[in-house]
Copies of this chain bind each other. A is one copy, B any other.
């Protein structure tokens, strides 16, 4: 008794259409070298039979696979989920399947996942927020990725740029400038800045952007009160207390992240200061709650979805001699916590 064949092969289609496997293959893959009439007939037969090609066989034979990989720390994190969304979008547009894996913030796992993707012969790998800080691990990752690239693989990272590959990085300077320009544009001139430790490049960059905006507005940034506190809600509360006691003339506070801004809002409210009527407050990051606060928080956000899109697009491009770096600009999200200063 013949073994029941459940899935049909290209050969079945070929037989049915009365052509050779080669012709069938060419017809279906849209390759040249087959007359239009025959090709169309084969396609029609395939469609009627409900034939679906075995992509493993195809990839193996062709040596390339129409698939890409994405490594994220944790897809449940909205940050990464949006990046994934962007990657999935251009993947779908390009007819690529997307494999996603978790690294769980574990460099070891991250490297494993990258290797697994390479083993899967994906055409490109996008790495979101690489955690390779340990020099040895980083070197290992670099080596693997370079080898992968030599074999025709494409790589792009999001958020870090020390792996010697194309990268999409957030432009915190521009983001800082954006919020500052917004508040300055509203007419504020007595402004305080609430920030976390300036040792971190991210924060330092944001401040640089703010400073640029102030300079452009003709304000001496050295005279702007900069309150440094914990980069948390409590830090924001502390900063607000300080502003209320030592900088009574301030009409706007730029917080360098939303958490601080939320703490500031809360303290201002408990002190009976009305936002934005008396004092405007802005944040940075656009965390989920930002729009549900009252007043809702004016802030600045990274276009995560677009970053995911850019990353895959970047990876898919013709490889460049030197790693490219693409900056992603924050988008200003104007909400209820900012308004012109009191008259």
A239 at the interface (CB under 8 A from B): no
Residues 110 to 147 of chain A near chain B (Cβ within 8 Å): 115-121, 147
Cβ–Cβ < 8 Å partners of A98 in chain B: 99-101
Known contacts A60-B60, A99-B97: does B54 contact A119 (CB below 8 Å)? Answer: yes
Q: Considering the complex of A and B, which 7 residue pairs feature the smallest CB-CB distances, nearest first? A: A76-B85, A81-B81, A52-B119, A289-B292, A56-B59, A56-B60, A288-B288
Asked whether, in the complex, the Cβ of A97 is within 8 Å of the Cβ of B116, the reply is: yes
Give the CA-CA distance A55 to B55 in the complex, in Å. 12
Other-chain residue from B102, B116, B147 in contact with A89 (beta carbon distance below 8 A): B102
The interface bits of chain A over 211-241 (1 if a CB of B lies within 8 angstroms of the residue's CB, else 0) are 0000000000000000000000000000000
Q: Give 14 pairs: A residue, B residue, CB < 8 Å, sorted on A.
A: A54-B60, A54-B121, A56-B60, A56-B121, A76-B78, A76-B84, A76-B305, A88-B101, A89-B102, A97-B116, A98-B99, A98-B101, A99-B100, A288-B288
Cβ–Cβ < 8 Å partners of A147 in chain B: 50
A38 at the interface (CB under 8 A from B): no
Asked whether, in the complex, the Cβ of B81 is within 8 Å of the Cβ of A92, the reply is: no
Total residues of chain A contacting the partner, CB 8 A = 49
Closest Cβ–Cβ distance, residue A271 to chain B (whole Å): 16
A151 at the interface (CB under 8 A from B): yes
Which chain A residues have a beta carbon within 8 Å of chain B's beta carbons?
6-7, 50, 52-57, 59-60, 65, 67, 74-78, 80-82, 84-85, 88-89, 92, 97-102, 115-121, 147, 150-152, 288-289, 292-293, 304-305
Asked whether, in the complex, the Cβ of A100 is within 8 Å of the Cβ of B84, the reply is: yes
Give the CA-CA distance A304 to B78 in the complex, in Å. 14
Cβ–Cβ < 8 Å partners of A57 in chain B: 56, 60
Give the CA-CA distance A292 to B98 in the complex, in Å. 34
Asked whether, in the complex, the Cβ of A81 is within 8 Å of the Cβ of B88, the reply is: no
Other-chain residue from B6, B60, B150 in contact with A150 (beta carbon distance below 8 A): B6
Give the CA-CA distance A80 to B117 in the complex, in Å. 23
Known contacts A54-B60, A56-B65, A81-B81: does B118 contact A102 (CB below 8 Å)? Answer: no
In addition to A56-B59, A80-B81, 8 A-B residue pairs with Cβ atoms within 8 Å of each other are A7-B151, A54-B60, A54-B119, A56-B60, A76-B78, A78-B81, A88-B100, A97-B101
